[in-house]
A and B are shown apart, each in its own frame.
Chain A
Amino acid sequence: MSKNKTVVTAEPGKQELFITREFDAPRDLVYQAHTDPEILAQWLGPKDLSVEFEVFEPVSGGRWRFLNIDHDGNEYAFHGTFHEVTPTRVIQTFEFEGMPETGHVSLETMTLEDLPNGRTKLTTHAVYQSVADRDGMVEAGMESGVADGYDKLDEMLAATQNQPTL
């Protein structure tokens, strides 16, 4: 377990969510890990799926498309375009191609901030086209490879009863 806590803020009834996390690494390395497809493929996951980038152009106006492939060869594709790519901010669109119809696009703004002692704060703000789209994305987390390790979740729940996270 990392001492750096990942915090997701998804307020009820809103079309947006925030994901924040700090890293014990300088900003240029965190940026590199997000913009070099070989490095990105090492951690993007999920754990049991391989990642293949078909296109990855991390420049303003560039495109990206990647596939998650499971053991049975099933492919899950995602694509989008980079609106702005700088060492302190990456803005991109994101769409899962497995939806019944196209157009469920979200706009993601990732901000990289320098912290003292060579650390970095990463904040992702994602805006969806509807509350239902946002909630669908949050609820998808329940099905995507999170079935194992419920003992860990139980521990977290035990902890949250003393000090719940809002």
Chain B
Amino acid sequence: MEELSEMKTPGETLVEIKNLNKKFDDTSVLKDISLDIHQGEVVVLLGPSGCGKSTLLRCINGLEKIQGGEIILEGEKLNEQTKRMHLIRQKIGMVFQSYDLFPHMTVLENIILGPRKAEKRAKKEVVKEAEELLQRVGLLDKKNAYPRQLSGGQKQRVAIVRALCMHPKIMLFDEVTAALDPEMVREVLDVMLKLAKDGMTMVIVTHEMQFAKAVADRIIFLDNGIIVEESDPQTFFTNPSTDRAKQFLNLFEFDAI
């Protein structure tokens, strides 16, 4: 725990978010958000439901139209609806809350679709890599299974592998364990911890506080579309500086009757 929560020396900036504004119709969901994400950093977004954390994640992948500001990935602006958007997205891996595997394809087909079609890589090489990655998450024996034959936790591990096989520069995780049974949560979080250790740049939205504490280099606490607090996990969880964050963290504590 100790060594993980130590602040890493920040690498160069990978994603720059400047004055991001996002509205759904007339409701502002993200108000003037500015945030830099560095190479190799694990950023965890926390906050109450509806605070805009998932929306922020979706904006980074260009899944939401934004109304102001800009998002820059490795020097390339991505808020324009450019024809290159699918190329930019290839550098960004994303795993969603709902199991998003393609139900008509086997596990292996799910994983190699992106590398084969979007990146046009050779089949043999992609299959080999997919199998190695599956081995790492302990699912090699499931490579010819269909998604509906897998448990929720297995599906999410496959979804992570599918994103990884594209060699993303950054991985986005949108409440990936929220729909899972408690016993399944652990196996998915373990895979994410391993990734973090290997130095993957990650932005994680989660409600698992213990996990956030363990994995994060930096906690961003959002409420009502603004960044309320930003600090290292140690400080955030033991000594949050804002009342709003204290209030939020208290939700996870229970008093004895």
Q: Do A and B bind each other?
A: no
